[in-house]
Amino acid sequence: MSAQNALYAQSGGVTATINASACGVIETARRHRGKIGRVYAARNGILGALAEDLIDTSAESTTAIRALMHTPGGAFGSCRFDLSPMPQGRSQYERLIQVFRAHNIGHFFYNGGNGSAETAHLIATELPRLGWPVTAIAIPKTIDNDIVHSDCSPGFGSVAKFVATSMREAMADLASMSHSSTKVFVMEVMGRYTGWIAAACGLAQPADKDGPLLLLVPEIHFDRRRFLAAVRLRIARYGWCAVAVAEGLKLRNGRRLTQAGGDGIPGHEQLGGVAPLIAAMVRDSLKVKVHWSALDYVQRAARHLASKTDVAQAYAVGRAAVGYALQGRSDVMPVIERISDRPYRWRVTPAPLAGIMNREKRLPRRFLTADGWRLTAHARGYFTPLIRGEAWPPFADGLPVHASLKLRRVRPKLKSTFRENP
């Protein structure tokens, strides 16, 4: 009997390094051809598995697979869709068994965050129960850095490096404009529930006693009066003030600022960004010129400035996932364990999915100073190794070159179709 095939899929919001994990999976599987057959990729995450829309990665050259290391986005398509637990999910599992049987799939790798870990867990537990033995492994990926039991999440180091760099550069710009023009700059970063990315912006400023940069995270309720006083103080002291704000910043009543219509500023309706709200608040209250930016996809796709540490970890969790499958381990996630800060040492270890899925790691309060505005030394010790090292992609004619894949579809074998409305 020939070796069973593997199915790899990407899920949730993509990152600058999720494709490095894909590369880790595919390259490692290719090194064990006797034990793992072909690696298929589901198009658009689990939806492609349900739809029998599979890509045969064995049609891709060694060079093309290697190029995934420097390609942002999700090369095989992602999705915002999770499987349902039993009994509602029964038809989904039965469909997956049809597809897995038709294509002799014995290993499933799901590259995603907290929600995707549950989908991997359900496949690991329900498919064998319903008659199709499979090893299912969740590969961690999220810019949000909120996966429990993992010291950090692949994808986070690169976004942290990009936002901290951008803030440092924008602060240099602001400092030179502040004398006769702009006095405040507000930069909005991702982070709907957690402040990991906003906090990483704090690295832009040296570890001094104080400084012109303020951090606003969802874990600390926003107090308009305190904030404006802090901005005013910094303008007086430094001539200018920079602000890094997480998109999910909350008021004391638990509502997001962007839901609250601008904290009661009349005429300032929300258009999807917290930065313009904060900017308007500062401008109207302190009567100074304010600039703001909202980075959105640009931050999480910024592969041109990826962290070398992050790229290495993203690859390592992909490789480890295949190693676990070869050992017959299932229902686990390869997570990053930090062994030491200086020198920074880490390793990949397996963690059971049941303890990870649908949980969320918040930014610890001790990462920020008592006033909440700046990073502590502890936080710097945590963040710095994660953004260290550059991993420049190749450039041609001034622009980064990304992988060019054939994405050859596997001929469908099933007559029936299954349509899951996403």
Residue with Cβ nearer its own copies (284 or 371): 284
CA 8 to the chain's CA centroid: 18
Whole-number minimum distance, CB 100 to its own copies, in Å? 21
Kindly identify the residues of this chain, within the stretch 39-58, that bind its own copies according to CB under 8 A: 43-45, 47
Neighbours of 287 (CB within 10 A): 8
Q: Tokens for 327, please give them.
A: 């050992």
Position among 177, 228, 326, 407 found at the interface with its own copies (CB under 8 A): 177
Binding-site string for its own copies from residue 265 to residue 304, where x marks contact by CB under 8 A and - marks none: --xxx-xxx-xxx-xx----------xxxxxxxx-xxxxx
Residue with Cβ nearer its own copies (324 or 383): 383
Piece of the chain touching its own copies by CB under 8 A; list 37-45, 88-96, 330-338, 347-355: 37-45
Residue with Cβ nearer its own copies (106 or 273): 273
Position among 159, 170, 282, 321 found at the interface with its own copies (CB under 8 A): 170
Position among 7, 16, 20, 322 found at the interface with its own copies (CB under 8 A): 16
Kindly identify the residues of this chain, within the stretch 99-158, that bind its own copies according to CB under 8 A: none
Kindly identify the residues of this chain, within the stretch 60-89, that bind its own copies according to CB under 8 A: 71-81
Q: Does 185 bind its own copies (CB under 8 A)?
A: yes
Among residues 214, 163, 220, the alpha carbon closest in space to that of 194 is found at: 220
Size of the site for its own copies (CB under 8 A): 80
Q: Does 173 bind its own copies (CB under 8 A)?
A: yes
Residue with Cβ nearer its own copies (69 or 295): 295
Q: Does 314 bind its own copies (CB under 8 A)?
A: no
- Selecting among 56, 82, 144, 146, the annotated active-site residue is 144
Are 7 and 109 within 8 A, CB to CB? Answer: yes
Kindly identify the residues of this chain, within the stretch 390-419, that bind its own copies according to CB under 8 A: 390, 392, 395, 397-400, 402
Active-site residue, 151 included: no
Position among 164, 214, 311, 368 found at the interface with its own copies (CB under 8 A): 164
Binding-site string for its own copies from residue 331 to residue 370, where x marks contact by CB under 8 A and - marks none: ----------------------------------------
Residues tagged active-site: 144
